[in-house]
Amino acid sequence: MTGIVKLLGIYMVAIGAVYLVKTSIMKKFLQFWLQGKRYRLGGIVSFVLGVFLLIASGSCQWRGFIVLMGVVSVLKGVLLFFLGEQKIKAFMQYFTKMSTAKTRVMGLVAMGMGVLLIYAV
């Protein structure tokens, strides 16, 4: 269980690093999720990852942090299903129009959360 949490952290660090180096990739990634109803698949993935984090939290050193990440992920998954399509797409459009500097900050945040996940195990 903890190995998968650590892999998730490594994935987040890698994604954050890519966002720092090549900000256009984040915008393409978001455009992918904006097509059709793909955001619902993202909701399912977020929900499942959140439940997994909640289950895995018992075997992690920083249980509170893992629980927090799990709860946020579950809430994100639920919201992606129950908010209207227009609200979700408008919210995601905001991120596709962000400046390069803000995108890099988001990359740093992702990297920081990934590092915390790695050390939380």
| Helix/strand/coil for 77 | helix
- Give tens-digit pLDDT for 69-78: 999 999 999 9
Q: Output the pTM of the full model.
A: 0.85
DSSP 76-92: HHHHHHHS-HHHHHHHH
Domain ranges of the chain: 2-120
Would you say the C-alpha torsion 114, 115, 118, 119 has a positive or negative sign? negative
How does pLDDT run across 8-64, given as a tens digit for each residue?
A: 999 999 999 998 888 888 878 888 887 877 888 889 999 999 999 999 999 999 999
In the prediction, which pLDDT does 11 show?
Answer: 94
